[in-house]
Each structure stands twice: as structure tokens, then as C-alpha cells.
Amino acid sequence: MWSVEMASAGVTEPLDILAIAAHPDDVEQTCGGTLLRMAAAGYRTGVLDLTAGDMGSRGTPELRIRESQAAASLLRLAWRGNLRWPDARLENTITARMTLAAEIRHLRPRVVILPYWEGRHPDHYRAAEIGYESCFLAGLKKLDEETPPHRPAQVLYSSLYANVKPSFVVDISAQFERRMESLFAYGSQYDDDGGEAGGFPKRAEIRERLGAVARFYGNLIGVRYGEPFVVKETMRVDDITTLGVRSL
């Protein structure tokens, strides 16, 4: 049976969408608008953060996790968990993959969102790799004979911080403000008190930066704010008259 130590031990209903992220506050910057929009559409959404930011210069893991739960309710997540793996030192080990595969088998998401597979922070690309390989393992019948196999149908890569052409962009114009609120739920990270002195930009600066990025991606599809994703598969279209974005 499910171990009580599992991050998702209390979850009884499958998720539709699970975002797996390296750090608390990653999804709030990259795909939180999409998660909000999907929750509004009636899907059960969840986030599994792999680390609790124990190497961060501000805050403690306990505080970061509390803040991430406040952000979770703003994002209307059905569930959020944290594996408390070592921050800034994520490693793709068999233990890591088996642990994450067990969580995926329990949560049973149809769609998994991972960070893009290249990036400045090693935790981000490693989370992409561990996430993909764990989704694969989760589908193996003999991995663990007590738990049923589950393989997500779709893996999406959240590419907001990668300088790559997205496969598609989700219109988050109606969700952008609430996504910003969810980011500012991390008072230990985004607190105007410290100002620039501690190397942490003020909220207005963060807002302007994230607004500019969301505007850039929104502009690609003719809306105000957008969030970009990359998929490795070719996307299927059944009706070429309803592609939704104008050529000219």
C-alpha cells in the first residue's frame, strides 16, 4: 500500500494536470497562469516541488513551504507537495526516479508540466530530466507490483525562461494578476523591505519584468499575456480553419 511518507499520501482522487518544479515559486513565474486557467475549466491541478529552497539566502525551508501553500490556494491547486530534496544539488539518481515515479503512480496525472530541459540553473534542467524519466518509469507494470502503473499521456515543457520558439502559447490575460499575487505570497523572497540592498529586486521591478515577458508571449498569439510551452511531439490539427492565430 501507499507509504505514509509519500508527499501525495493524502490524495485520493487523480489529478488531471501535475506541474513538477525544482523550487517553490518556479510555477508562479512560469506556468501558474495556465494552471489557474485549467482549474477554472474544471480540471484538478497539482504541483510537486522537488526542493524547499534550503540553499536560498532568505527564508527557511519551513517558511518556503508555508508560503508555497498560500500560493497554492491562490492558484486554486487541488494539491501541492514538496519532496524536500537538496536545493541547488538535485541529482538524477535511481532513488530520486523511483520516489518521483511512485508519486506519479499515486497522483495519476494525464498531463505533466516540466521545466524546459536547458537553462541557467542546474536544478531546472535536472528536474526536467528526472521528471521525464520518472514519468516513463511510472508506466512500467513491474516497477512496483503493489501499485498500478500509470504513464501520463502528455509531457509539456514550460519554456518561459528558455530562449526558444514555443510550440504553443496559452492565453493567461485573465489569470496574470492572480499569478502575480501567488508569486508575492512568497514574502520571504519578494519583500520590499530588503530593497535592492540584499540583491533582491523590489516587487515593482519583478512585476515589470514578468509583465514584459508575459506580454512578449501574449503578443505572439495576439493577446495581452501568455505563457509558452514546448512539446517534443508534433501537434495534431483536425480543422485548419480554426488555428486561432492570424497570419496577417
Contacting positions for Zn ion (CB under 5 A) = 22-23, 26
**Residue closer to Zn ion (CB basis): 16 or 26:** 26
DSSP state of 33: H
Smallest separation (angstroms) from Zn ion to the CB of 168: 23
DSSP state of 108: -
**Residue closer to Zn ion (CB basis): 70 or 221:** 70
Cα separation, 217 vs 56, whole angstroms: 29
Smallest separation (angstroms) from Zn ion to the CB of 26: 4
**Residue closer to Zn ion (CB basis): 23 or 126:** 23
Smallest separation (angstroms) from Zn ion to the CB of 124: 6
Cα separation, 150 vs 147, whole angstroms: 9
Smallest separation (angstroms) from Zn ion to the CB of 12: 30
Are 49 and 24 contacting, i.e. CB atoms less than 8 angstroms apart?
Answer: yes
DSSP string, 168-200: EEEE-TTTHHHHHHHHHT-TTTS-TTTGGGGT-
**Residue closer to Zn ion (CB basis): 16 or 87:** 87
- Closest residue to Zn ion, Cβ-based? 23
